Amino acid sequence: MSRGSRVAILGGGISGLAAAFYVRRLWPEIELHLFEQSSSFGGVIRTEHVDGFLVEYGPDMFSTEEPWAVELCQQLGIDDQLVGTLEQHRRALVVWQGRLYPVPEGFVLLQPRKMWPILASSLLSLKGRMRLLAECLVPPRTDTGDESLASFAIRRFGQEAFERLIQPLVSGIYTADPYQLSMEATMQRFRQMEQQYGGLIRAAWRLRPRSKQPGGHRSASGARYGLFVAPKEGMQTLVDALVQQLPGGSLRTGCRVHQLSPSEGKWHLHWTNRDGQCCDQAFDAVVVALPNDLAAQLLKPFDVPAANLLAAIPRSSAAIAVLGIRTADLARPLDGFGYVCPLVENRRVLAGSFASMKFPGRAPPDHALVRLFLGGACQPELLEADDQQLLAWAREELETLFGYRGTPVLERLVRWYRAMPQYHVGHLDRIATLERLLEAHPGLALAGNAYRGVGIPQCIRSAQQAAARVVQYLQGRRGSAAS
């Protein structure tokens, strides 16, 4: 690879920025150009500080269970800025028949790890509790093919536990249709537990810790909240640190890429810059870190099968209403990290996140910051309402569930259109086929949340792999030229 090798990164979200960072980390001499259509970097990651509130318009934390995001923070020198969730509030609530119930202690997504909290919970009927606990008697599925979340959960835990507990917890993460959501692509570890241990309760018994949790605090419910962290000053910290690590001249905003075409060992890029000028340039390799539907448009002229696979991955839209409120205006405290709503409740809000209960410094004293999510794969029609209507529905939700009587001191609304890819049954097989097709284009790599994980760590991992792919290709080409 010569010193003049040139790589283009298309997309300035977390995946594109991380891909650019890792390309330069693998080969500092590379000539790098990153193209972003909007006026700023970060994609759905955006933080605002206003009147003592720290407002996140996209993801507000990431998991440490997978190492890739934490490792990137270490490489950027910002790992000392990461803070964990507030331990005393680590639980989730669920709405049933218009009332809030705590998720049974120790119930994590699809796995009950403690029996007594389930028996004592009034969220499920006695019949529903007995059926859930009978999961340990359900034989594992002999067919190892993919299946939907609904199929898996109903088969193992029964209809009631699925509708009232499992579906809202999972949909709070994926905003997906549970009857189409792929277990293999999203909850693979639970399928593996079924196969290895015969069931999820059996797996919990076999894998239970030998000692009690330190500190005397109650166990988390809903998700393993102790595994989540966020930068003290918000998720924008990660984006800003990446931008600062990249040469200023390599980053371009306001650039819309119209065409990507391979020719004579080069990738020819055609785009319009912020001044409306049409530009053309040839690159030795390209990382496409755009949403899959936009990536499909670029690939279609030279690889129709790959483009069709990309275009077939559906994407859902959602709106986030952010409310800063006085805690004195609440009849019921926000005791937890948030709540989720079962689809069968037919509520407009699908989930609520209490940002100021999760992390310190998210709201001024005597105030709370709440994020309410509307839309998703199962209620896309809600986004046809205007901003004021969506905010009104958010306020009504707080009034109904928490007895809120007041006027928010802060209101924000953000719409994310087609931002969340939907991993339908068979998703991983389709991605494997796509990856085989891309072997015909060794100087091209894809990165983003549409392939093998929607979380920030998975996006960073995809960026690492894309960077390694193009650098390995360029190194191989240099070796061939030298021989």
Does 36 reside within a domain? yes
Same domain for 188 and 118: yes
Mean pLDDT taken over the chain? 93
Q: Do 202 and 130 share a domain, yes or no?
A: yes
In a domain, 100, yes or no: no
**Which residue, of 388, 404, 421, is where some domain finishes?**
421
User: Whole domain around residue 369: which residue ranges?
Assistant: 61-88+315-421
Query: pTM above the 0.85 mark?
Result: yes
Residues 412 and 459 occupy one common structural domain: no
Based on the domain organization, do 80 and 148 belong to the same domain? Answer: no
Residue 25 lies in a domain: yes
Mean pLDDT value across residues 158-176: 93
Tell me: pLDDT of 213 over 90: no
| Same-domain check for residues 198 and 130 | yes
- Confirm whether 187 is domain-assigned: yes
Question: 161 and 132 in contact (C-beta within 8 Å)?
Answer: yes
pLDDT digits 0-9 by tens, 92-150: 999 999 999 999 988 888 888 888 888 899 999 999 999 999 999 999 998 889 999 99
**107-120 pLDDT, tens per residue?**
888 888 888 888 89
In a domain, 375, yes or no: yes
Last residue of a domain, one of 405, 421, 437: 421
Task: Say if residue 386 is in the same domain as residue 359.
Answer: yes
Q: How many domains does the chain have?
A: 3
Query: 321 and 291 in one domain?
Result: no
Distance, CA of 450 to CA of 427 (rounded, Å): 10
Residue 215 lies in a domain: no
d(CA 291, CA 13): 10
**Residue where a domain terminates, one of 379, 396, 421:** 421
Q: Are residues 456 and 320 in the same domain?
A: no
What's the 3-state SS for the chain? Answer: CCCCCEEEEECCEHHHHHHHHHHHHHCCCCEEEEECCCCCCECCCCEEEECCEEEECCCCCEECCCCHHHHHHHHHCCHHHEEECCHHHCCEEEEECCEEEECCCCEECCEECCCHHHHHCCCCCHHHHHHHHHHHHCCCCCCCCCCEHHHHHHHHHCHHHHHHHHHHHHHHHHCCCCCCEEHHHHCHHHHHHHHHHCCHHHHHHHHCCCCCCCCCCCCCCECCHHHEEEECCCCHHHHHHHHHHCCHHHEECCCEEEEEEEECCEEEEEEECCCCCEEEEEECEEEECCCHHHHHHHHCCCCHHHHHHHHCCCEEEEEEEEEEEEHHHCCCCCCCCEEECCHHHCCCEEEEEEHHHHCCCCCCCCEEEEEEEEECCCCHHHHHCCHHHHHHHHHHHHHHHHCCCCCCCEEEEEEEEEEEECCECCHHHHHHHHHHHHCCCCCEEECCCCCCCCCHHHHHHHHHHHHHHHHHHHHHHHHHHHC
- Predicted confidence at residue 266, as pLDDT, reads 95
Give 94: exposed, middle or buried? Use CB within 10 Å, 0-12, 13-18, 19+.
buried
Query: Are 306 and 439 members of one domain?
Result: yes
The CATH code of the domain that includes 179 is 1.10.3110.10
- Asked whether 338 and 351 are in contact (CB, 8 A), the reply is yes
| pLDDT score recorded for residue 207 | 85
16 pLDDT band (50/70/90 cuts)?
A: very high
Determine how many CB atoms are found less than 10 A away from the CB of residue 191: 19
68 and 192 within one domain: no
**Helix 236-245 to helix 68-76 angle, to the nearest 10 degrees?**
50
Is 371 inside a domain boundary?
yes
CB count in 10 Å sphere of residue 346: 8
CATH number where 357 lies: 3.90.660.20
Compute the average pLDDT of residues 397-413: 97
Of 481, 42, 29, 393, the residue nearest 236 (C-alpha): 42
pLDDT in tens, 253-290: 999 999 999 998 899 999 999 999 999 999 999 999 99
Please give the Cα distance from 407 to 97 (Å, whole number).
26
